[in-house]
């Protein structure tokens, strides 16, 4: 059992009808994607033709920041605001789509971009699944 799962299980109040499994999957996907994007940006900086990866690096760093913030917002339940949560999830899904598309365009040349694109796709889907379950 992950720490995120343990923290959700030990939250002392009701989660207000939020699908706990989708919430957990999204929190974990956000933090995984943030790590992948951070590592991908760093790997891009080490490539010989780094100038060709400028947009990828920028997209990676933006996506990492948004995923990290989303994971933190989703980890807080006291005073839950469904409208704010939905907006954060929409922004995260959009960032993951943009980053996934950008990394995918470099995936045939850079394995780190392929791996990152996959993490972005998983996070985008987890955000959309959670959005779909919100009341």
Single pTM value for the model: 0.95
**Minimum mean pLDDT among 5-14, 32-41, 85-94: which range?**
5-14
Which CATH code for domain 20-133? 1.20.1270.360
Contact yes or no for 26/73 (Cβ under 8 A): no
Type and span of the H or E element at 21:
helix 20-45
Q: Which of 53, 49, 33 is nearest to 115 (CA)?
A: 33
Radius of gyration for the chain, computed over Cα atoms and rounded to the nearest angstrom: 16
pLDDT tens readout for residues 55-113: 999 999 999 999 999 999 999 988 888 899 999 999 999 999 999 999 999 999 999 99
Q: Which residues, in sequence order, are CB contacts of 52 under 8 Å at separation 6+?
A: none
Predicted local confidence at residue 82, as pLDDT? 87
The CA-atom distances, in angstroms, between 30 and each of 12, 45, 132 are 24, 23, 17
d(CA 20, CA 125): 16
């Amino acid at each position: 059992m992950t720490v995120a799962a343990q923290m959700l299980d030990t939250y002392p109040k009701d989660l207000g009808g939020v699908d706990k499994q989708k919430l957990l999957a999204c929190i974990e996907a956000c933090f995984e994607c943030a790590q992948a994007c951070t590592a991908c940006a760093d790997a891009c900086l080490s490539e010989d033709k780094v100038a060709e990866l400028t947009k990828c690096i920028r997209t990676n760093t933006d996506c990492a920041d948004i995923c990290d913030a989303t994971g933190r917002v989703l980890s807080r339940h006291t005073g839950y605001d469904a409208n704010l949560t939905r907006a954060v999830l929409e922004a995260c899904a959009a960032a993951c789509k943009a980053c996934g598309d950008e990394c995918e365009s470099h995936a045939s040349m850079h394995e780190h971009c392929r791996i990152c694109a996959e993490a972005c796709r998983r996070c985008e889907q987890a955000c959309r699944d959670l959005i779909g379950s919100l009341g």
